[in-house]
Each structure stands twice: as structure tokens, then as C-alpha cells.
Amino acid sequence: MIRGLVFAGLLAAHTVSGHELTGHTVLLQPIVLTDDAGDGAAKATLPEELIDLPFRRWDLDFQILEPVEWSRRAFRDGEIDVDVIVKAAREEGVFRQPRRIANMFFARKINGRAAPNGLGQEPGWVTFIAQGGDPPLGQDAFVVVHEVTHNLGLSHTVDDAEVPSDIPNVMGDGDFLDRIREDGITRHQAATILKSPLVRETVKCLEVEEGRRAYLGESFEDYYTELNRREVEAMTRNAVGKDLKGEALEKEARERFGNAVMGFTPEEREVLLWMVGEYRKLLVEDFPLLANQPWQVVKVKSDHCGGFCHTRGLSVVIAEGALNRMVNDYRRHGKSKTALAGAGTIIVHEQIHVLQRCFPRKFSGLYTGAYGLVDGKVGHDEWVARNEIQNPDGLEGNRWIVDYEGNYYWLKTILDEKDDPAMMPASFQEAIMPLRKTGETYRVIWKKGGKKPQLVNPNLIRDWKKQFPIRAGHDHPNEIFAYLFQAELTRKIMGEEPSGDPMTKKTMAWARKELR
């Protein structure tokens, strides 16, 4: 059911509190409608501190993900009914995690009605917002709060006998800022909100069935549909029939990956929840965006994906072996900085990858700036596609290009062609391929009669690598950032001075500014 919004006046501004940790989170995905050419975006103003204000009292925080744009002029201009828009969005894969993330369209008009107005499913996970050009103070925040609270299961106060209509409330009448103040949601309403499937525990160890759903989901990016046969073999340590391809290969990969998910022991859960809680305390002041992002953890078998920790969608995937090391640190050192500075920091490393997935444009500014990479596109190459092992924490592997001494290079991890089946990580090989730019596309260089693209000795770009004080991960900037951040966090835990390395200093300065 789509519910409309009634507007009223305004009141003077309220102050908002500083950074806090909360136990529950709602993720909000803005979908900004543009014209068919991708221009003329609808207004989308999301003052997060005001949006959070009425929910903080109930231990609930909104995390607003990086907006995505959808180029549909008729949808933007309100010429098409919202139900048709929702159906089209489903068919085109526009939504992020339906029923678990609040997906909010921003348009100029809604069903022909001019801004300002809004519509929201009650309950549900889809809203439509049309913001006015020169709104009174607090109006933009109120519209967002009001409509998403319909998603969370609340009715207007006039339709809810348990909520007084004569006091300011997010679902009632009155001045905009007055309705979204700290006491704008009653205890009765909060009890309804916290039952919504949109509300998730900010820190959670996922049990087997929920973990499988999270691990096999693809609402953020394609993964299983893009795997090659050799990758599936390497990551699952079992041969795959050479004739298996397409949907059959995808089905086989999903079955193998799903079977790798395990449940947590009570001790593992205790250790993880303590470690993540302590890391969040260390991060919240300087990096609240990272601290308050949902931390949901999936456990997999030790031999799955070579025992490497990684991510999928919004989940950190921890191998049983890595989890054992964390538990052993805890057993030896108890609740101490030594335990925190050990194996557990990989959780922060991987949580950074979740954040990078949610805010790709934010991080790209660092990569093209301080890191000096080219944000381009490498054309498809059959040899690479057949032999690469994709980084699950940086799937846009054909995007980032090294520009070194006037030449372009593509860094990839390749599975040794001699290994059949390939094994992870034993079959890993570093491949550095020179590129030639053709128009807007970069392409690998083939020698006449060659069986694979031209490869160069890694020492050729050794000086480029030296600017990043890390031992691995040069093939994707997501890894560079995560390794540098993880090392600085370890220094902080142990009470050491920050690194004097120039690239680390640039990275952390950027993070303090952008991850707030």
C-alpha cells in the first residue's frame, strides 16, 4: 500500500548530537532519477544527522548508501505510475537487497503531482520522494523520515489509537523540525519499527541459512554469473567438468559455495562480538561511516577459497582457520590490546571492502588522486578471462590502470596455465601486462603468433610498488587502502606512533575527511 504525505510549517533548527554507536541499523539506498541521457538529476538532499535524530533514542541509526542514478525521464517527471516504475526497477536489477534495504526513488514529480510530496509502502521497502526547490528548514529531512517510517510499519497518528495526535510526531502534523526531534517517535512506535525486516543488528554472526542467503546474494554486483571454470576449481579444491559452462557452471559454483558456509560456536561468537565491539569504539570518533556500517559475518570452511577471508555484498566472510587464530589470541591474551592487534584486525580489513562496495565513487577520488591510478576500461581479453582469479573485494578488475613512466600497465592475478586443476593460492601468478590505448579503451598487447598477451617482469614497476608499504595487494586499490588502514589501526591499538610513510599519511588524511 502506498501512503501519501501531508505537509505543514517549520520551527527553528535543533542541534544534533555527535558520533555514537548504535545496536541497530537501517540501510537506505537512494535511487536518483535522471533524463534518458543521464543528465538533469532529480533533487536528492539527505541531511543524515537530522534524519537520524528521532531514531537515536531507540538505538537505531540510518546508514545512507552512495546514490545510484537511473536514466528514465518519464519516471523522473511523474508521467508513469509508481507501480510500473517499481516493476521496471525489479526487471532491470535496480534495487539493492529488496525487503532488507529501504530503496528510495528521488523524482521531480510523483504520479503527476509536483514537489514537494512523497509516497511510501506501509509496510514495505520502497519510497518515492519529490523535493521542492527552496524548502523550509527541515522539510527535506522530514519527508525522508516520514516516508521511510511508513516502510518501517508506522501509520499516521490519526490512524493509530496508541499514539497521541496532539504532540509532535514523525507521523503527525506540526512543524517539520519539531516532528523529527529526539522524542518524535513514541515507545509504542519504536516497538513496531524494531520488528521491521529493514532493521538489522549492527553487529551479527550469521547462522547457516541466513549466511548462505547473504553469501549467494548478488544485489550489489554479479559474481557467480561471472566466474570461470578454473576459478571455481581453485576456490573449491575440486575439478569441474570442462564442458560445464553458463548457467550450469553458475549452479555448480553456487552449490559449492553454499555448502562451505558453517555455523558459529558459542566461543567464536563471543570472541567476534567482543572484537568487533572494541574495533567500533576505536573507529567511531574519526571514522564513524566505517564504525556504524553493519558488520555481519559469515563463517566458511578452512579450505574454501584457500582459507582467504573476503567479502560478499554486505557480509565479511571469515574462514574457519582465521577464526581459530582469533579465538587462540583471545584465549592467550584475554580482553587485551594484544588480542585486538592480532589476527582479528582482518575483520576491519574486510569491513573496509564492504564499505568500498557501498561507496565506490567516494573511494575512486583517492585512487585517481593520491594513488595516481587511471580510472579507465580494459577491453575484454579471452586469455585473461579464461585464466584470471577475480578478487571478490574488487570485482571491477578491468578498471584500474597503472600509469608509470609514460606507459600503461594492467596488474592481474592469474592461475598458472600448467596447473589442472588450479589450486588456491598455489597456482597464483602475478601478471603485469602493458596496455595500448585505443580511443577510450585500453587493450592488452599481443605479439604476432603469441599464445597469450605480452607480460613484463614485475621488477619493471618495482619503484611504483615501493610507494605503498605493503607486501601484497598491489593489483587493486581497494586492497592497497585496506592494508594501509589495517596497519595504522594496529599501531593505534598498540599505542605506537602513526607511520611516517608519505602514502600512509595521505591515505589516513583522506580517510579522516571522507569516512565521517
Q: What value does the mean pLDDT take over residues 28-55?
A: 96
Q: What value does the mean pLDDT take over residues 135-159?
A: 95
Percentage of the chain modeled with pLDDT above 70: 96
Nearest 5°: CA angle at 434, between 445 and 484?
145
Average pLDDT, the chain: 94
The pLDDT tens digits for 341-359 are: 999 999 999 999 999 999 9
pTM of the model as a whole: 0.93
What the block records as the C-alpha cell of 319 is: 574462514
Fill in the DSSP letter of residue 459: G
Give the helix/strand (H/E) hosting 252. Answer: helix 246-259
Q: Which residues make Cβ contacts (< 8 Å) with residue 334, sequence separation at least 6?
A: none
The pLDDT tens digits for 419-453 are: 999 999 999 999 999 999 999 999 999 988 899 99
The pLDDT tens digits for 229-280 are: 999 999 999 999 999 999 999 999 999 999 999 999 999 999 999 999 999 9
Domain boundaries, the chain: 2-200, 204-357, 365-463
Residues 110, 128 contacting (CB under 8 angstroms):
yes
Q: State residue 33's pLDDT score.
A: 98
Q: Which residues make Cβ contacts (< 8 Å) with residue 241, sequence separation at least 6?
A: none
Q: State residue 447's pLDDT score.
A: 87
Q: State residue 148's pLDDT score.
A: 98
What the block records as the C-alpha cell of 453 is: 598477451
The pLDDT tens digits for 201-236 are: 999 999 999 999 999 998 899 999 999 999 999 999
pLDDT band at 2 (very low <50, low <70, confident <90, very high): very low
pLDDT band at 17 (very low <50, low <70, confident <90, very high): very low
Strands 400-404 and 407-415: antiparallel
d(CA 232, CA 429): 17
pLDDT band at 165 (very low <50, low <70, confident <90, very high): confident
Q: Which fold has domain 2-200?
A: Collagenase (Catalytic Domain) (3.40.390)
Torsion, CA 141, CA 157, CA 6, CA 56, rounded to 10: 0
Is the pLDDT score of 99 beyond 70? yes
d(CA 51, CA 484): 33
What the block records as the C-alpha cell of 97 is: 537487497
Is the pLDDT score of 19 beyond 70? no
Q: State residue 9's pLDDT score.
A: 26
Is the pLDDT score of 4 beyond 70? no
Q: Which residues are 118's β-sheet partners?
A: 129
Is the pLDDT score of 319 beyond 90? yes
Torsion, CA 329, CA 332, CA 338, CA 341, rounded to 10: 0
